Structure formats: structure tokens, C-alpha cells
């Protein structure tokens, strides 16, 4: 076998006892993922009058750590179960 430079991949599978990978017959459907960017409950406001930073929050999720009283979110976060599109 050392002299044979061409190795048949099927025989190699048999030698190594590697099982065949099953492929589904049906096409895989894509699932639509929603983000906080398009939610109705997203609030945007300026941090303060001297700063140009914009803070975004979810008005349905309370938070004790933020000044606004709402949970601070990023627009790239996946939407929660309270998601409602615009």
C-alpha cells in the first residue's frame, strides 16, 4: 500500500470505519430572525443635552440599573418574545 500513490476514498472510509454522512432529502428552510432594530417598543433618546450619544431601550423590560428605568438594548440584539414589528 505504501507504493500505491492513489488511494480510493471509498476504500479509505471502509478502512477507517467512518460512517456516511446522511443528507436530508428536503431542502432546509431559513428561519426569519427579528432584531430589536425594528421593534415598536424600542425607545431612543439622547443621553443628555451636552452629549450626542443616543441610548436605546425597550419600554417593556424594566431595569433598576439604568437612569431611564428601562433595559438598555443594542439594535443588533435578537428580539425578545414581546417583539412587535413596525
10 domain-assigned:
no
Q: Is residue 50 part of a domain?
A: yes
In a domain, 58, yes or no: yes
Domain annotation covers residue 23: no
In a domain, 82, yes or no: yes
Q: How many domains does the chain have?
A: 1
Residue 70 domain flag: yes
Residue 19 in domain:
no
pLDDT of the residue at 85: 84
Model-level pTM greater than 0.95? no
In a domain, 54, yes or no: yes
Give CA–CA dist 29/45, Å, rounded: 38
Asked if residue 84 lies in contact with residue 39, where contact means CB atoms within 8 angstroms, the answer is: yes
Residues 75 and 36: beta-carbon distance below 8 Å: yes
Is the pLDDT at 12 greater than 80, yes or no? Answer: no
pLDDT at 6: 58
Identify the domain containing residue 42 by its residue range. 34-86
Could you tell me the pLDDT band of residue 40, with boundaries at 50, 70 and 90?
very high
Q: What is the pLDDT of residues 51-78, one digit of tens each?
A: 888 889 999 999 998 888 889 988 888 9
Contact 63, 56 (CB under 8 A): no
Q: Tens digit of pLDDT for each residue in 1-11?
A: 555 555 555 56
Amino acid at each position: 500500500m505504501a507504493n500505491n500513490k492513489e488511494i480510493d476514498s471509498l476504500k479509505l472510509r471502509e478502512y477507517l470505519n467512518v460512517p456516511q454522512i446522511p443528507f436530508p432529502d428536503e431542502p432546509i428552510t431559513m428561519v426569519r430572525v427579528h432584531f430589536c432594530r425594528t421593534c415598536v417598543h424600542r425607545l431612543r433618546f439622547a443621553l443628555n443635552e451636552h452629549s450626542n450619544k443616543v441610548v436605546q431601550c425597550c419600554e417593556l423590560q424594566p431595569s433598576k440599573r439604568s437612569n431611564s428605568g428601562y433595559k438598555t438594548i443594542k439594535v443588533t440584539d435578537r428580539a425578545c418574545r414581546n417583539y412587535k414589528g413596525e
